[in-house]
Structure 1
Amino acid sequence: MANRLTTQDASFYFLEASSTPMHLGSLAVFRTPRNGFSYESLLSLVEQRLVLVPRYRQKVRELAFGLARPVWVDDSDFDITYHIRRSALPKPGSDEQLHDLVARLTSRPLDRTRPLWEMYLVEGLSKNRFAIFTKSHSALVDGEKSLEIGQVILDASKSPPAMAEELWMPAREPKESALVFDAITELIASPSEGLEVLRGAAKGAAGIAGGALGAAGKVLSAVRTAAQVAPASPLNAPISRNRRFAVAKTELADYRKIHTRFECSINDVVLAVVTGALRNWLLSRGEPVTASSTVRAMVPMSVYVSDQRAGYDEYTDRITGDHETGAEQDTDGSQASEVSSFLIDLPVGELNAVVRLSHIAHATEAHAKQSPGVTAHTLMRISGFAPASLHAMGARAGSRLSQRLFNLIITNAPGPQFPLYVGGARMLEMFPVSPLFENQALSIGLTSYDGFVCFGLNADRGAMPDVDVITALLFEALEELVDASNDSRV
C-alpha cells in the first residue's frame, strides 16, 4: 500500500504559492570548538542521523488526474551534498548580515523534485562563531511522528553518542499503474473520502488542499474560534515571496520574575511583552490606537517547564537505541504543563502594562479550563521538546483556520534549559523562522533555551520594512513589566 500524505500534509503541499513558501526554519548559532567544525563534520553527522528521520530521504510524488493525495517515495538519486550546503559571510560577519542571509534563504522555495529540506552551514561569523540554518517543508514535519532534521543532530553532551552503522538502500519507486490501482481501491473502500477527492480533482490542486484544511491534529487541542473576523490591521496586507528576518534575545529570569510577582504563567508574560511591542509599533506608524483596540493572535501555546533534562535524556536514549518508550503517561508526579491552541485578542489599546498582562492572564485561564491540552511529559516523549518540531505543530494549527480570523501567529516552544551541542560545538542560541500565510505580513516564533528566550520574527519585505522596530520594542515592553514587578505599589 502506498505511503500517502495525510490530509494536512497534502494541504501544506498544495497551498504553497510563490508568495507563501510553506517551509519552517530554524537558525542556530554555535561557538566554534578548539578543534574547529567543518562542512565534512556536519555531512557525516547528518548522514548518521538520517535513520531517525527516514522521510528526509523521501520525495513527494503526485498521482495522475489527482485521483488521491500524493505519496511519499524514496529518492533513488538522494544526494546529501545537495541538501547540506555551505555559505560564508565576509569576515568578521555580523549578526545583521546573518539575518539578511536567512531572509534570502527563507524566500527561496524548496525543490519539489527532491526531498523537501535544506541545511546551510554558515561560516565567517564574528566572535568565533558559526551558524546552521535549516528549512523543512511543513508537509515534511508534523512535530509528532516526523521530526525536524535539526533536532536529531543536537546532543546533550560534547561527545556525540555512538550510532549503529546503517546501509540505506532506496526502495524501488512504484509504477504509476500500481499507484492508480491503489488509489482506486481506496476510493472504493472509502466512498465519502473518494467523493471529496473527485471534487478536488475537478477543481485542481487548490480544491484538494481546501478539503484537507479541515483535518484535525492529533496533538494540539481544538481551537476556540470567534464569530467575527479579525480587526483591521497593517499586519494583514498582500505579501510577496521576499522576507525580512529579525531576532531578539531576552533573559528567561525576567519572565520568571514577572510570572512570580503577578501570579500568571510565563506564556502570559510572553504575550504581554508582544502586546506591548505591537502597541508601540502601531503608534510609531501613526496608526489609530484607541482604548478598545486589539490585535487577534493565533497562539499555539507551549508552557515552559523548569526541569527538562530527564525527558531529554530519555529522548537521547531513543536516538542511541538504548531505551524504548512505552505508553505516553505522566508518572513522575510533577505538575504537568500543557500545549494548546486558541485565539486571543491582545489588548494593544491598553496603556498600562500590568493591566494588559491581567487581561491576557484572564483570557488564557478561561481557555485552559475549556481545553484539556497535552502534557509536557508527553511532548518530551514525542519530540524531546525540540522547538522546530513544536513550531511545526503551531503552523499546522494555524492552517486549520481561515486567516481572516486572526492577524498573526505567535508560536512559543520550550527548549532545554541546559546546553546542547552539535559535533562538540556548543549551541549559543536558537531562533525559529515560522512561515507566513496569505495576507499575513508577520509571524512571531520564540524558543526558550539555556536561560534565554529567543524571538524570531519572519516578515514580508515590502509590508514590514520596519520589523526591526518591533524587536527593539520587545526589550522595552519586557523592561516595563520588570519595572512594574519591582514596584511595591503595583
Structure 2
Amino acid sequence: MITRLTPQDTSFFRLESSSNPMHIGSLAIVRDPYPGEHSAEGVPQSTDSPGPLTHDRLLDLVGRRLPLVPRYRHRVREVPYQIGRPVWVPDSGFDLTRHVRCSALPAPGTDAQLLDLVAQLASRPLEQTRPLWEMHLIEGLSGGRRAIFTKSHAALVDGTTALEIGHVILDTTPVPRALNPVAWFPEREPADLELLAMTAIELAGQPSEALEAIRRPLAGTAGRVLGAVRTAAGGTPDGPFNAPTSRNRRLEVVSTNLDDYRTIRKRFDCSVNDAVLAVVTGALRVFLQSRGEVLTESEVLRAVVPMAVYPDQAEPSRPDAGGEVSSFLIDLPVGEQNPVMRISHIAHATETNYANRRGVRARVLVHMAGFAPASLHAMSVRAASTFAEHTFNLVITNAPGPQRPMYVGGARMLEMYPVSPLLRNQTTTIGITSYDGRVFYGLNADRDAMADIGVLAAAVDESMEEMLGACVQ
C-alpha cells in the first residue's frame, strides 16, 4: 500500500543530517531465561529453559511480530523533482537480516563498553534506501546479560498508525504469546512515472498544496539563509546545551527508584512528573557549577518538556489508553539553591502550563502488552519539534512504561533506557522511562561538546539525595 508522508514526517525525513540523525533509540538490558522462570503473577511458566536469546531466535521473534507494525516493511521514496511529499512504498527487496543485527563485546563486557558501543550505533544515520529502522542484539555483557538496542526513525513512529518495533516484541510472561502466522509477499514498487502521475492527480484536487510544492525549493533556500542570519545574530541560547553538533555521540544512563519520586510527590503535594523535573533541575545545577558557571538566584534553563499526561497525574504507571502527549516550555530554576523552592517553582509552572498545553492524542498506547515507552518518546520528540530552536536549551522527555516484568523471547527485561535524538543546535537530550518500579534515564549527548556528560549523570543521584533530605525536614 502506498501512502504519503504527513507534513511533519516529511520534515523529519528531509531535515536529517549526518550530525543530526533523527531516530528514536531504546536500550533494553535483558537476562537469559533459566529453568522455572516465573511470570509476573508468580506462576511457573515452564520447567524447561527456552535457552539464550540468540540472534536466530530474535530474528524469528521479530519476523513473527512484523505484521503488527506493517510500516516496518516500507521505505520512503521521494517523488521525482520532490514534487509533493514523499511516499511510503513496500520494500520489494526487504531482508530482515539487514535490520536485525548482532554484535558482541569482548566478554565479560562492561557497562561502559556497552554504552560506548550504543553511542556509536546511535551516531549513525539510518540507510534511507531501506525501511528506517535497525535492531542490534549485543552479546558478551557480564552477568549473563544481553542488550537490545533499537532505533527507529522519527518519521516512522507516530504512536498511532505506527508503534515502535521494540514494543511489539515484548511479552508479559517468559513464554512468548502465540500469533497466527501471516504470510508476506513483497509487493511491486511503483515506477517514477507512476509516482509522478499519482502526485499530479492528488495536487490537481488540492491547489494550496500544489502551490506549496512549487514554492518548496525556494522556501528551502530562504529558510537556510534565515537560519544562518539567526545564528550569526546570536538568536540561539548560549551555554553548553546549545551549539552545533558533531557526528559523534556519548551515552550515559542512570537508574533510580520510582518510590523515591512518589515520596517527593506525597511530601510536596505535586505530581511525579514535577518530582522528576525537580531532580533533573538539581542535577543540571550541579553540572553547571562543575563547569565553573556562576549561577545567580534567578538563573534558569528553558526546557521543552513533552510529558505523557494521563487522567491520574499522580501516577505515571497506569495503563490508561486515550492519554495524550503534551508539550510546553518550562524554566527550570537552576539558580535556586533551596530544593524546596525549586520544586515549588516547577509545580507552579507545570500547573500553569497544563491549561495551555499542546496535545498530541495517543490513541493507541496499549497493544497487547502494556505501554509503549519508545512510541511515547517518539511522540514527545515530535511535540518538541514544533518549537523554534532558538527558544529553548534542551529537551526532556518522560514516558511511563509497564510496572511489571516484561520479556523478550523468554529473556527478562531488567532495564530500559530511552535514547532520544538531538535536535538542531542541541548538545544534550534527557530521556526518562519508568519500568517495573524503577526510573531509567538515558542522557544522549554530543561527544565533542559534552565530554563531561558523566558529571550530569552522577549528579542525578546527588540531586535525588538532596530532594529526599528535604522531604524529612
- Superposition TM-score, scaled by structure 1 size: 0.87
Q: Quote the sequence identity (%).
A: 58
- Alignment partner of 1:393 is 2:379: yes
Q: Distance in 1 between matches of 2:368 and 2:184?
A: 24
SS of aligned partner of 2:331: strand
Q: Which residue of 2 aligns with 1:13?
A: 13
Does the 8 A contact of 2:256 with 2:438 survive in 1? yes
Q: Which residue of 2 aligns with 1:286?
A: 292
What is the correspondence of 1:148-163 to structure 2 with a 5 Å cutoff? 148-163=164-179
State the AA in 1 paired with 2:258. Answer: L
- Alignment partner of 1:429 is 2:445: no
Q: Distance in 2 between matches of 1:310 and 1:234?
A: 37
Q: Which residue of 1 aligns with 2:436?
A: 450
SS of aligned partner of 1:370: coil
Q: 1:86 aligns with which of 82, 102, 106?
A: 102
- Alignment partner of 1:105 is 2:132: no
State the AA in 1 paired with 2:298. Answer: S
State the AA in 2 paired with 1:93. Answer: G
Deviation of residue 445 (structure 1)? 0.2
Q: Distance in 2 between matches of 1:173 and 1:206?
A: 34
State the AA in 2 paired with 1:118. Answer: E
SS of aligned partner of 1:134: strand
Q: Which residue of 1 aligns with 2:87?
A: 71
- Alignment partner of 1:234 is 2:215: no
Q: Which residue of 2 aligns with 1:31?
A: 31
Does the 8 A contact of 1:10 with 1:139 survive in 2? yes
Could you report, residue by residue, the CA deviation over 1:179-201 in whole angstroms, capped at 9, with x for unpaired residues?
A: 11111112211111111111113
Q: 1:372 to 1:191 in 2, by over 3 A?
A: closer
SS of aligned partner of 2:4: coil
- Alignment partner of 1:462 is 2:468: no
State the AA in 1 paired with 2:247. Answer: R
- Alignment partner of 1:478 is 2:461: no
State the AA in 2 paired with 1:257. Answer: T
Does the 8 A contact of 1:275 with 1:346 survive in 2? yes
Does the 8 A contact of 1:307 with 1:417 survive in 2? no
Q: 1:298 aligns with which of 287, 296, 304?
A: 304
Does the 8 A contact of 2:3 with 2:89 survive in 1? yes
Q: Distance in 2 between matches of 1:339 and 1:61?
A: 29
Q: Distance in 1 between matches of 2:314 and 2:297?
A: 34
Could you report, residue by residue, the CA deviation over 1:361-397 in whole angstroms, capped at 9, with x for unpaired residues?
A: 0000111233485788974479942110000001111
Could you report, residue by residue, the CA deviation over 1:388-427 in whole angstroms, capped at 9, with x for unpaired residues?
A: 0000001111111211011000000000110000011110
Does the 8 A contact of 2:360 with 2:383 survive in 1? no
Does the 8 A contact of 1:66 with 1:204 survive in 2? no
State the AA in 2 paired with 1:44. Answer: D
Q: Distance in 1 between matches of 2:363 and 2:158?
A: 18
Q: Distance in 1 between matches of 2:442 and 2:253?
A: 5
Q: Distance in 1 between matches of 2:133 and 2:273?
A: 30
State the AA in 2 paired with 1:101. Answer: L
Q: 1:352 aligns with which of 330, 338, 346?
A: 338
What is the correspondence of 1:10-409 to structure 2 with a 5 Å cutoff? 10-34=10-34, 35-203=51-219, 231-303=237-309, 306=315, 339-371=325-357, 379-380=365-366, 384-409=370-395
Q: CA RMSD in A?
A: 2.3
Which blocks of at least 5 consecutive residues in structure 1 are unaligned?
A: 211-227, 312-327, 330-336
Does the 8 A contact of 2:316 with 2:400 survive in 1? no
Q: Distance in 2 between matches of 1:33 and 1:384?
A: 21
Q: Which residue of 2 aligns with 1:323?
A: none
Deviation of residue 441 (structure 1)? 0.3
Does the 8 A contact of 2:171 with 2:369 survive in 1? no
- Superposition TM-score, scaled by structure 2 size: 0.90
State the AA in 1 paired with 2:416. Answer: M
Deviation of residue 202 (structure 1)? 4.1
Does the 8 A contact of 1:387 with 1:447 survive in 2? yes
Deviation of residue 339 (structure 1)? 3.4
Q: 1:265 to 1:309 in 2, by over 3 A?
A: closer
Deviation of residue 163 (structure 1)? 0.7
Does the 8 A contact of 1:14 with 1:205 survive in 2? no
Q: 1:202 to 1:184 in 2, by over 3 A?
A: farther
SS of aligned partner of 1:87: strand
SS of aligned partner of 1:85: strand
Could you report, residue by residue, the CA deviation over 1:38-82 in whole angstroms, capped at 9, with x for unpaired residues?
A: 111100000000001111111111111111111111111111011
SS of aligned partner of 2:444: strand
Does the 8 A contact of 1:145 with 1:382 survive in 2? no
